[in-house]
Amino acid sequence: MIIVTGGSGFIGSALIWRLNQLGKEEIIIVDDFKGKEDLSGKEKEKIIQNEKWKNLNGLKYADIFDKDDFGHMVSSDFLKNFEIDTIFHLGACSATTENDFDYLMRNNYEYSKFLCEKAIENNIRFIYASSAATYGDGSKGYDDDEGKLQTLKPLNAYGYSKHVFDLWIQRSKVLDKVVGLKYFNVYGPNEYHKADMQSVVSKAYMQVKWTGKARLFKSADPEYKDGEQSRDFLYVKDAVDMTLFFWDNRIVSGIYNIGTGEAHSFNELVKPIFTSMGKKENIEYFDMPEILKEKYQYYTKADISKLRNAGYVNEVAKIDDNVTDYVSNYLDTKDPYLS
């Protein structure tokens, strides 16, 4: 039996899709479908997550539980009653603009500690999602050497909530028993429920479809021209393959970067969209919101030498090919989901 928290989310549902392709169906999905209610604003705002169920259409699994209910079940020794092989802990609040620090810490830190302790107690493989947001502005580099964890300073509360769990793993001396995955900028099918947190590819596709042009942030840093801000963009299919490497290789543990090892500009990212859609290239640059300027990453590039040294040999597809696959085989079809 395999447990996937965040199993109806973006990377989680893609992981289950791949597991199904490998003949694995004894999967328990754990997720939060309730959304978050913010009572501090002028008006009660609910972030609807119910659209995530669409990611599950066509997938095969044994059962599905609400994350809070599952927490109570685990507290009541649920894990001891089943032969659980692995927990993929991918569930979290992943909004980089979230400013409810208490909410982030309860979801991304406390819940993660709880599951990790229970997994170790029951000798279950624990593979969890960290984030490249832990690297902050990148001034300390993007080296996943655990010895450098203490030097990192995330730029937002989301990144910090992930960072403090990495630090807890190190402080608790369980690095040799778990795997932490620092995902870089993942994009691809099944991200549609993420609203503003969808990738630039998904957003730009819709912009090109309805207006004929893609919109990108202007650069507020003179070292970067408009649209030349660069990130390590990782296709979700590659992210899943890298994740499953640690499922197949149980002797490998520690914290690893999950990326391509290359940096591409946003201009490079959106140009294949026009080609795939048979449209003339047309990019409009607009001012970055003030709230983002101090927290914006202008450059990320995963150092994946540690991943390669651990034995991961699969080649990562070129960005043009991945964007083309996403647009042609998913976004521009009647059924854009992995199934």
Q: Catalogue the active-site residues.
A: 158, 194
Alpha helices in the chain (DSSP H): 10-21, 67-75, 101-104, 111-121, 157-171, 200-211, 236-248, 266-277, 290-293, 305-309, 319-326
CB count within 10 Å of CB 103 equals 16
Task: Pick left, alpha or beta for residue 316 (phi over 0 → left; psi -120 to 50 → alpha; otherwise beta).
Answer: beta
Q: Can you name the residues that pair with 186 across neighbouring β-strands?
A: 234
Report yes or no: 95 and 9 within 8 Å, Cβ to Cβ: no
Tokens of 214: 């893609």
**Cβ-count burial 106-136 (b if 16+ within 10 Å, e if not):** ebbbebbeebbebbeebebbbbbbbbbbbbb
**Cα–Cα separations (whole angstroms), residue 159 to 127, 262, 299, 307, 324:** 18, 21, 16, 21, 30
Cα distance between residue 113 and residue 131, in whole Å = 16
Strands 86-89 vs 2-5: parallel, antiparallel or unpaired = parallel
**Cβ-count burial 294-332 (b if 16+ within 10 Å, e if not):** ebbbebbbbbbebbeebebeeebeebeebbbbbbeebbe
CA–centroid distance for 138 within its chain:
18
DSSP 33: -
Cα distance between residue 109 and residue 92, in whole Å = 9
DSSP 289: P
